[in-house]
Structure 1
Amino acid sequence: MSTAFARISRVLLGVTLAMSAVSVMATGTPPEVHVDSGQLSGIRNARMGLDEFKGIPYAAPPLGALRWKPPQPVAPWIGVRKADRFAPRCMQRPLFSDMVFRSNGMSEDCLYLNVWTPAHSEGKKLPVLVYFYGGGFLTGDGSESRYDGASLARRGIVTVTVNYRLDVFGFLALPALARESPYHATGNYGLLDQNAALHWVQRNIAAFGGDPSRVTIGGESAGSMSVSAQMASPLSKGLMHQAIGESGAVLGNLKPRPLALSEQQGEAFMRDVGAHSLADLRAMSADKLLKACGDKSAAAFGSTIDGFGPNIDGWFFPRSPEAIFKAGEQAHIPLLVGSNSQEGYYASLFGDKPPTPANYRAVLEKQFGSQANEALKLYPGQTEAQVKASGTALAGDQFIAFATWRWMHLQRQTGEAPVYYYYFDKGRPAKRDGSAGPDPGAVHSGEIEYALGNLDGNHVYAWTPVDRRVSTTMEAYWANFIKTGNPNGKGLPHWPATAPKDGGLLRQVIGAHTHTIVDHKAARYEFLQHFEPDAHL
């Protein structure tokens, strides 16, 4: 497993955002819509003025012979199908304690999506957001409260969350799978699921009042990486018109694995489970395959979690996303992208040693060898306070901020559309139960509830008026961008598209004091780009 993937897993383990389900007041006659596979009935949320449709199938269940196949069309149904509860989440290990699901159990039969839309929106042409969850491509679900689409829907946006296959079910690659593919491709089934969902949106979102020509795709962490992947893939050209990326991209140190490496991983897995053929693998129970991925919870894994991820398969990715973005072959659409102030934490660099300048130098010498002095110039550590600040910056850069910067950088160079670059720095407040004080910075995934207007869905933290003000600002930026391709609007601090200024780039700090800065971090990222050219997921 790569160092970059281990960093993702290590940082995600420290995130704690336990949440409870959001209640819905359903009254009156259930709303109905007709999609290409049949009639659906949903929930009329009278209190919020919304129609909600949950558990809509967008592809056939990937069971039996369809396990490790690209998603196939949904079989039409007769009569009215209820879409009033979340469907099962995709097969996954219980890795991260911050994920609180409202899904109906867990199953391989998981290719469903959810839609929130203003009530009585038939015939309207509202902007659309399709949001992909995070979780390292190992876990996650569209039912999580922090991704709830009601708040954005109340702003006049048709909001969609999508389930996609994960871990071995979503990303197993094998030469035998490539041989049976008409495109000689293997792996990336989870990304193909997302692509199928985007095709479903193009065919069906008008029935919910959405405009298929105004689709924004968004996501956080692995969901953000998914957004960059969909932008790079020729299979998704024309299916989205704007993009939002919150901390993550399939670029820089998080580039997809080479196909050969993924196939080697797949063959090793096949041997480990005692399978001698694809038929053997497909005959095994999902539980057995999941158990073979790892029996332990995340807390027991220490610093690494083995898992499957995207690869350069020659079809979804005809070549590396780096090459695609460099050549300007990605989607030329407006991009809103950024990362948080505390994506990592200095303690992860030191193990059980104190963060002294001497120990910090030893860490950098071990990581960067002869280039340790250059690293010290970019991440200085002459005092303990400086070590903590620089160590936190380095841990966050190496985890996910560098890859996010690389996406912004290449899209700005070749994307022929505006890029809006942010830096979120609002730490979460103290916990309600008094077990922890305020976060010193904005941790990985800490922006989600602010951006999507879902603070009230998270009862772990004692949200303050400042938190609510930050959420109001951030959600308004997101909503404006979804509607117009520009985050600016009345009453908001002006956010310029990123552009060179004074030796840096314009960037929007979003937090208690939202304002524009000139960001000078490029030298750090260029150093990491030079030092880790072969890193991958």
Structure 2
Amino acid sequence: MRTGIRKVMGLAVAAMAIQALPAAAQIRSATVAEGQLAGKSAGAVSAFLGVPFAAPPVAENRWKPPLAAARWQGVRRADTLPSSCRQEVTPNGFGPWTHEYVVTNAVSEDCLYLNVWTPAKTAAAKLPVLVWIHGGAFSSGSASVPIYDGSALAAKGIVVIAINYRLGLYGFMAHPGLTAESPAGASGNYGLLDQVAALKWIKANAAAFGGDPARITIAGQSAGAASVHHLIATPLAKGLFVRAIAQSGSGMGLNVPARATAEARGTALMTSAGAGSIDEMRRLSPDQLEAAAKTLAGAGGLAFAPVVDGLVFPDTGTVGANTNDTPILTGMTADEMTGLNPAFGKATAAQVQGTLASSYGALAPQFLKLYPAASDAEANATVSALARDRGLAAMAFWAQQRQRGSRNPVYAYLWSHWEPGPDAARYRAFHSSEIPYVFGTLGASPERPFGAADRRLSALLGDYWVNWVKRGDPNGSGLPHWPRYSSNQQIIEIGDDGAKARPILPADTLDLFTRYVESGGRVSLF
């Protein structure tokens, strides 16, 4: 009798254990240099969230290069998104950027973490790795922004990793005192040093997630794309990646000032904060520092951003250099400026005519022929077309220069599809609007009325990006052909009608911009 009871009880316990297996099987583990991680799984993809790649840059480590992350005992849970780096937040979004585009979680100086999504079944899978560097003018953004969830993209057969890096005054303040205490005689660019540290950590630990450390692609949009180009330029990133993606980034035209200029701004910040030394600055609270920063002239925009620091960029010649020559997939949206310029769509014919005359000098009549502005309606259409074409011309000139000193391919695109949602007709294919299509995160915004056409475009864009990460060629079976950018100046336009090859610009338009540059003019995306 007792034997029978024991058997029944044993069967019941076994049945309970079997029932518990699916939940237990959702937890995957990975062993990295610092210890063991417990992630979480959903379907075919496992996520390891909030993984430290460096020590917290707080207290005495504020405004210092990142230090190695500490080891831990036991198993560290990696199932929760980490804090975002310090910044002002607008959790409901702004302009065309609805809530899924912005930081919605807590912010902290303790933010040097990354998120990993992997479809690998074993550590021996050797899948290619995509490292995502978020945008946000070097002052905002996060690896935890909802549209950067890597689950859907990873499900296509790659490891996706999104990284944080210090922002604003925490990531890019230079100061004579910091320069003096640095063994390298450098200051500023701590955010870029964070990116380098993250890449070194990823190269050392990618295999733990089934990734191949020999096949790492860096990718980013806007400031993230600028970061991609900075990583290509800096000697510190040598050997850390093999391919790159720069969305809204090539031909960007951002200024990288000399360290002395940045040090002067850091000195002004110290004065505004009422501190007498770097040690005192390190003892101030984030609220005190940020309040002081708001009093500085020109506190918005790129107030604290990359500089020629003497370390990441040893000299001005390093900025924009092709030090780490690598294949690049790059492009832009058709309406980059609609959300970035508050006056967009409000121009008058007289204003546009005056701007063309003052900007293009002797070539202004030719520009007016291509971009007429006889009425206010026509003037606003001209502003839109001119902004798009300037960006494309800047990308063409960048590609031309890059190809002079590189054998590696360039593939270029124009994204022209309007994301549905609030004021879609106003914002159109706005800055960063292709990102949720790349990541397959259309579901992050239930209020946007995505349809079957959007989902088809998302599948198409994701396939192109994943093919690039896997093979260095976006083309693949069943996809419209994407030509390599060469002397034929062909790009691919991805829009309402799918993907089609086209010239980067009509010949007469590109010729006009070429003459403008040869006369001493400057064109850039922004």
Instruction: Tell me the TM-score normalized by structure 2.
Output: 0.86
Using the alignment, how far apart are the partners of 2:166 and 2:425 within structure 1?
A: 35
Report how far residue 305 of structure 1 moved.
3.7
SS of the residue corresponding to residue 492 of structure 2 reads: strand
> Secondary structure, in 3 states, of the residue corresponding to 1:229?
helix
Q: Quick check: 1:256–1:536 contact (8 Å CA) kept in 2? A: no
Q: Which amino acid aligns with 2:286?
A: A
Distance in 2 (CA, whole Å) between partners of 1:439 and 1:465 is: 22
Counterpart of 2:305 in structure 1 is: 309
In structure 2, give the amino acid aligned to 1:410. Q
Could you tell me which residue of structure 2 aligns to residue 508 of structure 1?
492
1:58 aligns with 2:53: yes
Report the 3-state secondary structure (helix = DSSP H, G, I; strand = E; otherwise coil) of the residue aligned with 1:411.
helix
Structure with higher Rg: it is: 2
Residue 360 of structure 1 pairs with residue 352 of structure 2: yes
Percent sequence identity is 38
Cα deviation, residue 372, structure 1: 4.2
1:5 alignment partner in structure 2: none
Query: For the Cα contact (< 8 Å) 2:118–2:158, is it kept in 1?
Result: yes
Of the three residues 459, 462, 466, the one matched with 1:475 is: 462
1:148 matched to which residue of 2? 149
User: Tell me, what secondary structure is at the counterpart of 1:71?
Assistant: coil
The residue type paired with residue 127 of structure 1 is P
Query: Pick from 376, 379, 404: which aligns with 1:413?
Result: 404
> Cα–Cα, structure 1 residues 54 and 323, in superposed 2: closer, same or farther, change >3 Å?
closer
- Deviation track 1:380-422 (CA, whole Å, cap 9, x = no partner) reads 4345454223211344567x66665554333223222010010
Q: Distance in 2 between matches of 1:319 and 1:378?
A: 40
Corresponding residue number in structure 2 for 1:73: 68
Which of 34, 38, 55 in structure 2 is aligned with 1:37?
A: 34
- How many pairs does the alignment contain? 494
Confirm or deny that 1:87 pairs with 2:82: yes
Q: What is the identity, as a one-letter code, of the residue corresponding to 2:306?
A: P
Deviations 1:470-511 (A, max 9, x none): 11111110010010000000010001100122xxx1111011
Unaligned regions of 5+ residues in structure 2, if any? 1-21
Equivalent residue for 2:418? 427
Q: Which has the higher contact order (CA 8 A, sep 6+)?
A: 1
Q: Distance in 1 between matches of 2:64 and 2:329?
A: 32
Following superposition of structure 1 onto structure 2, how do residues 16-415 of structure 1 map, counting pairs within 5 Å? Answer: 28=25, 30-45=27-42, 48-94=43-89, 97=94, 98=97, 100=100, 105-249=106-250, 253-294=253-294, 305=301, 307-320=303-316, 324-325=320-321, 329-345=322-338, 348=341, 354-356=347-349, 358-367=350-359, 372-373=364-365, 375-376=367-368, 379-395=371-387, 404-415=395-406
> 2:7 maps to what in 1?
none
SS in 1 for 2:491: strand
Residues 339 and 430 in structure 2, CA contact (< 8 A), matched pair in contact too: no
Pair 272,401 (structure 1): closer, same or farther in 2 beyond 3 Å: farther
Matched residue, 2:446:
459
Query: Any stretches of 5+ residues in structure 1 without a counterpart?
Result: 1-24
Q: CA deviation at 1:350?
A: 5.8
Q: Is the Cα contact below 8 Å between 2:272 and 2:293 reproduced in 1?
A: no
How far, CA to CA, are the matches of 1:335 and 1:535 in structure 2?
Answer: 18
Q: Secondary structure at the match of 2:30?
A: strand
Mapped to 2, the partners of 1:510 and 1:81 lie a distance apart of: 42
- CA offsets 1:452-478 (integer angstroms, 9 cap, x no match): 211112223101221111111111100
State whether residues 176 and 278 of structure 1, in contact with CA within 8 Å, keep that contact through their aligned partners in structure 2: yes
CA-atom RMSD in angstroms: 3.0
Give yes or no for contact 1:129–1:217 (8 Å, CA) kept in 2. yes
**CA positional deviation for 1:61:** 0.3
What is the alpha-carbon distance in structure 1 between the residues aligned to residue 369 and residue 318 of structure 2?
27
- For residues 125-170 of structure 1, what are the alpha-carbon distances to aligned partners after superposition, in whole Å with 9 as ceiling and x for unaligned? 0010000111110100101111110011101100000000000000
For 2:352, what is the secondary structure of its paired residue?
Answer: helix
Q: Report how far residue 252 of structure 1 moved.
A: 5.8
Mapped contact 1:426–1:512 kept (Cα < 8 A):
yes
Q: Is the 8 Å Cα contact of residues 418 and 424 (structure 2) preserved in structure 1?
A: no
Give the Cα separation in 1 of the matches to 2:33 and 2:331: 36
Q: CA deviation at 1:352?
A: 9.5
Secondary structure of 1:516's aligned partner: strand
Distance 2:354 2:294 in 1: 33
Which whole-Å CA distance do the structure 2 matches of 1:113 and 1:173 have between them? 25
1:346 is displaced (CA, Å) by 10
Distance 1:490 1:404, change over 3 A: same
Shift of the 270–405 alpha-carbon distance from structure 1 to 2, 3 Å rule, reads: farther
Q: Aligned partner of 2:263: which letter?
A: E
Do 1:247 and 1:337's aligned partners in 2 also have CA atoms closer than 8 Å? yes
- CA change 1:525–1:308 in 2 (3 A) is farther
410-419 or 365-374: bigger deviation = 365-374
Task: State the one-letter code of the partner of 1:330.
Answer: T
Q: CA deviation at 1:304?
A: 5.2
The change in CA–CA distance for 1:352 and 1:341 in structure 2 (over 3 A counts) is: closer
1:221–1:247 Cα contact (<8 Å) kept: yes
